[in-house]
Amino acid sequence: AVKPLNAEPKRNDMIVPFAATAIAPEAEDYEQLAKDLENASPLKIMDKALEKFGNDIAIAFSGAEDVALIEYAHLTGRPFRVFSLDTGRLNPETYRFFDAVEKQYGIRIEYMFPDAVEVQALVRSKGLFSFCEDGHQECCRVRKVRPLRRALKRPRAWITGQRKDQSPGTRSEIPVVQVDPVFEGLDGGIGSVVNWNLVANVSGVGIWNFLRTMDVTVNSLHSQGYISLIGCEPCTRPVLPGQHEREGRWWWEDAKARECGLHKGNIMKNDAANAATVD
C-alpha cells in the first residue's frame, strides 16, 4: 500500500529549470570532501549535497531499492528533484512503482526518454532484441547513456544509488562524492558534474533494513526475486539465493561487460583495457 505523506504535493513546483548558480566543481576539493564524509551517514551526506547544490542537483532513480535515496532526501526536509531514464523497455511493475512514488512523495519524476529517431533506426535495422545477439552496449547507448548525457547537461550534480557491494569488479572503490570522470555538464566538459554516491558504503542488507524500518513502499518485483538493479524487462531476471545480484543482468554476456555505461567511470578506473566501452 502507498504510504501517504502529510506534506502537500508540490508537483509542478519541482519542474523548474535548473539554476546555473551552483558551486563549480573546481572550486571545491571533492577528494578531501569525500574523505571528510567517508564515515558520515547517508542522511548527512544527502543533506550536505542538497544544501550545497539546491535546485541544481537531482536524484537518479531507477525504480528499485534506490527509492532509499528519495526517502533520505525527504527526511532532510529540503526540496529535491528526481529524474529517471525511461528506456521504453521497463517492467510494467516499475512503471506502477514510479507512479506510486510520485504520489507518496508528492513529486513529479523528470523522465528522460531516448531519441525516437535513434530507437527507430536501431529497431528497424536490427530488431527488438539485438542485444541478445551482439551485446547490450548499442541498445544501452541509445536508450540509456545518451538520454543520461542530455539529462546531465542540466544539473551540476547528481545523486546515485551506487554501492561498493553491487559489483565488486567495478564499484569497489567508489567514493561518497566525486567529480564525474565521464559525463559532461552544462559548461560542456568533463569535470563539471559532481556525483554523490551517498550509499557507497552501505550494504544491500543495510539498504533493506532502512527501507523496512521506514516502511517505504518498494517495487513489487522485489517480492518476485529481483534483488536489485531492476532494469529493462528483457535484460533483468530474478537471481537465486546465494547468487550475486549482478548475475541477474545480461547473464548471456561476460561478467566484465555487465555495466550499462551509466557509470562507465568505474569501469575505466578499474579495468580500462578490458572493459566494454559504451559511447
Interaction pattern, residues 115-134, with ligand SF4; x per rule: CB under 6 A:
----------------x---
Q: Which is nearer to ligand SF4, 131 or 210 (CB)?
A: 131
Give the closest residue to 37 by CA, choosing from 179, 201, 147: 201
Cβ proximity to ligand SF4, 141 vs 222, nearer residue = 141
Q: Which of 48, 52, 144, 146 binds ligand SF4 (CB under 6 A)?
A: 144
- Which position among 234, 238, 257, 268 is part of the footprint of ligand SF4 (CB under 6 A)? 234
Which of 48, 81, 143, 154 forms a contact with ligand SF4 (CB under 6 A)?
Answer: 143
Determine if 146 is a binding residue for ligand SF4 (CB under 6 A): no
| Binding string, residues 36-75; x marks residues near ligand SF4 by CB under 6 A | ----------------------------------------
Looking at the Cβ atoms of 235 and 276, the one nearer to ligand SF4 is: 235
How many residues bind ligand SF4 (CB under 6 A)? The answer is: 13
- Which one of 48, 136, 146, 246 is in contact with ligand SF4 (CB under 6 A)? 136
Shortest reach from residue 279's CB to ligand SF4, in Å: 12
Give the residue, chosen from 147, 161, 185, 231, that forms a contact with ligand SF4 under the rule CB under 6 A.
231
Candidate residues 260, 262, 276, 278; the one interacting with ligand SF4 per rule CB under 6 A? 260
DSSP state string for the chain: -----SSPP-HHHH--PPPS-SPPGGGS-HHHHHHHHTTS-HHHHHHHHHHHHGGGEEEE--SSTTHHHHHHHHHHTS---EEEE--S-B-HHHHHHHHHHHHHHT---EEE---HHHHHHHHHHH-TTTHHHH-SHHHHIIIIIHHHHHHTTS-SEEE----GGG-TTTSTT--SEEE-SS-B-TT-SBTS-EEE-TTTT--HHHHHHHHHHTT----GGGGGT--S---BGGGB----TTS-GGGGBSTTS-GGG---STTHHHHHHHHTTTSPP--
Q: Which residues are catalytic?
A: 260
Residues that bind ligand SF4 (CB under 6 A): 87, 89, 131, 136, 139-140, 143-144, 231-232, 234-235, 260
